[in-house]
Structure 1
Amino acid sequence: MGQMIELTAADGFKLGAYRADPDGTPKGAIVVVQEIFGVNGHIRNVADGFAAEGYVAIAPAIFDRAQPGIELGYDQAGVDAGIKARSAIPLDGTLADLQAAIDAVEDVGKVGIVGYCWGGTLAFAAAGRLAGLSAAVGYYGGQIVSSFLDVEPQIPIILHFGETDHGIPLTDVQKIIDRYPTLPIHTYQAGHGFNCDQRGSYDKPSAELALTRTLEFFRQHLV
């Protein structure tokens, strides 16, 4: 359904992005932010799913600043390589790449952002730091508390967390609730990565419920 395109960030850096367009007139656009495994088959499938729901979906390859074309699997080697790539990229560069993706699809209507794992953290950061967004959704963003708890979201945002996520204790989720008591936060009887059907932690009921809530949220705010 989609294809790779090239984006140019404000600092002149060129990166790849997977773009999937819907049949017919778009309802809006959604920036899909990867986990630490790159714009791999799963993330492309996620983008295709949003396109099937009527949105232009674009997944910027934010690891391109470390190495172009990174696509990793969900084994320990993939985890290690993903952490290494993430640590090699300055946050300002990553945010510039996300802004380039937003700018690339703003012509189709309102733009939302959804992110998973590292992308969930970035979606939260984007809600407070980037321009051109109308809604944000974060899935199990593990560094919100440690790095971005003082970032004030400027747009509507919802967050999804697994109740048995060994990397994100419920005490961290409570810190977000305490800091932003009106921010909708949903928890699920699942672990980290419960949305990804290529991971052992995949939990279909939780993934389907979270997607239902996400799509309803975007239908409400990308109009």
Structure 2
Amino acid sequence: MAGRAQAGSDGMRAETLIVEDLLLLLLDDETGTPAAAGTLYYTLGGAVLVELALSGRVEAEGGSRLSGPEVRVAGDGPLSDPLLQAAYDRIAEKPRRVQPLILDIGSGLWEQLVERLVERGLIRREKKRVLGLFKVTQLPADDTGHEAEVRRGVKAVLEEGAEPDARTAALIGLLSGSGALPMLRPPLAWSGAVHRRAKELEEGSWGASAVGTAVTRTAAAIAASSAAVAVSVATTVT
């Protein structure tokens, strides 16, 4: 089940966030390269919004075709996690549409999340040389027990038809919205039924749906840019 506690090096146990579980699933266990890296910021930002929504600390209303519903804060009092508190404080400044908001929140999360996962002992940093010349940093899995538990929950819902809890449903919706679900390693037993189930969970969460919309737009923008470059090159050549 998503979000279960993990033991740290000091023996203390702490609850993982949805965005941390999501990143663990996205990261290749051998290299630490994330699936669907091109739209990662949208996915991470969406995961934080979903967590705040499940906690009753943000709500969405209205909507537009271009940028989705407007997100505003709800409830009061401090949040238990500084990462969530920072996102909450940003939204509290003024209500904003979900599409630009998920990018705003997600664009600064990669480094924070990597540091948190390293500190928890879930991944590690490895310095390597490519072709004996170029130094690279990889982020392979260190302790895979928690990730395996999260993955079992995802597989039970998608492959076996189990009823998901809210966190697992959110994880699957975000993975579906990001387009990363069929790219996970090790892979799921991909099928039409798995795809449909994942889409149902994606469409049941405005945060996950926003990620899906952002990913679609990003892909369209990349395609349009690539087409423009191809036309430019062809024109120059001829």
TM-score w.r.t. the length of structure 1 is 0.29
Q: Which has the higher helix share?
A: 2
Greater C-alpha radius of gyration: 2
The higher-RCO structure (CA 8 Å, 6+ apart) is 2
Q: Which has the higher strand share?
A: 1
